Structure 1
Amino acid sequence: MALLGGALVAVAALAVFFLRSDNSGSGDVFLQSASAEGADPFTASTVKDNGGRVTAEPTTAAVTGASGSRTVQGSAPGLYGGTQNAASCDVDRQTGYLTEDQTKARAFASAAGIEPGDLPEYLRGLTPLQLRADIRVTSHGYRSGAATAYQAVLQAGTAVLVDDRGMPRVRCASGNPLGPPVATKGTPESKGKAWRAYRPGEALAVVPAGRAMDGMVVHDPRTGQWFERPVGTRGDSDSPTSRPGTRTSPSGTAAGSPAPSTPPPATAMSPQTPGPAYGPAARPGARP
């Protein structure tokens, strides 16, 4: 209940979130399935197969804002899935891939909004999880020694590294740094092969939690159970937790009506003046 209350309080942060307009909003949005490497990957895949593939869960209560944007907060319980006591990505291998080539490290750091020397600490401070909904992002490919930005929709089940505001920051199948989505010019045109559950216009944009989090409430698709994963850990510190929306009686049993095991509903986003959506990544361990 404390986590849910905090999420409700932090919804006020939505008022300062908006899609940016910049040169990467060309009008094309590239569809990337969970396992696809995609064009111009930064690294080889670091995805770990734990036998707990997350599939899309419909957000029946989703609301579309006047600008056509659908947002959900990074602190919302159930936004991410994963296998309890196991990581969805090999963070050490990801760090090795990105630091063994200094040109690539500089390109990644530039896209991530960090200093190249901070790259190992930054990656190790992220949390390996899986998306439980199709998510719209700005992805960055690696070409000719530089990061190239493009709009993408990542399929539910995609393994990502998440920061302490609940924002997806790295796509593990390609090593590509992720940023906020930007407004496209005109009607977006989808590129690539769509997956069966994909619905144009229904992908969500994740907005940052109002403050840095200590842990995230995650759904395990193998068991149907819920657990909490401390930020920056890889499954070794997971602990079981109640299903979001339940309360615990003094005897320790759950009471009340449980929430469905679907990602949290999206919230309408009010039109805002164009500008940065959530800025550079926070340094690991930073707190407001």
Structure 2
Amino acid sequence: MRSQGRFRRTALAALSAGVLLAVAGCGEGGDRTAKGTTGTAEAKDVLLQPVTSPGPGPFTASTARATDSLSPSGAPDDEPDSDTRTVHPVSGAVPGLYGGTRSVAACDVERQTTLLTDDKSKASAFADAAGIEAVQIPGYLKSLTPVVLRADAQVTNHGYSAGSATAFQAVLQAGTAVLVDSRGMPRVRCACGNPLGPPVVADGKVAHRGDRWPGYDPARIVAVEPGVKAAASLIIVNADDNTWIERAMGDSGGRDRVPDDPPPFEPDADLLFPSPGRPSEPPSP
């Protein structure tokens, strides 16, 4: 069994890596599309994407599975009265960033693999955006972990158009099913099969397209950053009873378990703003 001290050091390392720093912009605007993609991933034009909306240019039909509704982490009860936009960098290693249902995968990975590999043109475009070869798609998808976002998150999404992946900035609604890699980065959106990349967050005024969902707050958007190192598992929140689940990386829920050493804060703790029970900075030397 891991010691509390060891977990606290791990949590502190993740939290100190830019987790709780609220910033207006954490990257330069511009073209950060992957090899083989088109478009400029314009940082000042962001599409709001509700949980089930396929969005423009879906690569596949939805492979997201219905799960119990997850309460967004630390979400305000009232509608926001400000249009101030703040994007918060959060490490993909932070417990509670993602959720799910014990022993139930948020996405059907096998079906996602079949849908992509059955269409050679889409498989090639997906692989280019993901930075892999088309032949590697089955193994790549199998290495990812199906979970659900617990906060509205900005990403670089990629739609399919005329044989290529076209990059665009999007904010995915909390509750969106995604496949994440071993450093906690969202890599596939299950409602459309689109490959995902890190966001390009711009300074200054940003145009949000699309319909706002209830509870959407432009001051509470996260930008997921890779964990310091590859992890063997994720600590996620159980949608059934608001408890912790430890899910092995690359597993669809069959090996879910209660963590031996749970986080030193509650599953509904606010991801963006620290509380006395949740350390935000490493102790002084």
Fold shared by both chains (TM-score > 0.5): yes
- 1:9 partner amino acid: A
- 1:21 and 2:26 equivalent? no
| TM-score, normalised by the number of residues in structure 1 | 0.80
- Describe the superposition over 1:115-142 as per-residue Cα deviations: whole angstroms up to 9, x where unpaired: 2221111000000000000001010000
- Partner residue in 2 for 1:259: 266
- 1:128 and 2:146 equivalent? yes
Instruction: Name structure 1 gaps, 5 residues minimum.
Output: 61-66, 246-257, 268-288
- 1:188 and 2:206 equivalent? yes
Aligned CA distance change for structure 1 residues 110 and 135 (closer, same or farther; 3 Å): same
How far off is 1:86 after superposition? 0.7
Q: CA RMSD in A?
A: 2.2
- Describe the superposition over 1:138-188 as per-residue Cα deviations: whole angstroms up to 9, x where unpaired: 100001111011100000000000100000110000001110111347411
How far off is 1:230 after superposition? 0.4
Report if the CA contact (8 A) 1:56-1:197 is conserved: no
Report if the CA contact (8 A) 1:20-1:181 is conserved: no
Give the Cα separation in 1 of the matches to 2:121 and 2:215: 38
Give the Cα separation in 1 of the matches to 2:218 and 2:154: 11
Give the Cα separation in 2 of the matches to 1:232 and 1:207: 19
| TM-score, normalised by the number of residues in structure 2 | 0.80
How far off is 1:25 after superposition? 1.9
How far off is 1:39 after superposition? 1.6
Instruction: Name structure 2 gaps, 5 residues minimum.
Output: 20-24, 31-39, 77-84, 275-285
Give the Cα separation in 2 of the matches to 1:7 and 1:129: 20
How far off is 1:18 after superposition? 4.5
Give the Cα separation in 2 of the matches to 1:157 and 1:10: 23
Q: Which of 15, 39, 46 lines up with 2:63 in the alignment?
A: 46
How far off is 1:243 after superposition? 4.5
Aligned CA distance change for structure 1 residues 183 and 97 (closer, same or farther; 3 Å): same
Report if the CA contact (8 A) 1:217-1:229 is conserved: yes
- 2:192 partner amino acid: S
- 1:188 partner amino acid: V
Alignment of 1:1-288 (within 5 A): 1=4, 2-11=6-15, 13-14=17-18, 18-22=26-30, 23-50=40-67, 52-58=68-74, 68-184=86-202, 186-241=204-259, 243-245=262-264, 258-259=265-266, 261-265=268-272
Q: What percent identity do the matched residue pairs reach?
A: 45
Give the Cα separation in 1 of the matches to 2:184 and 2:109: 17
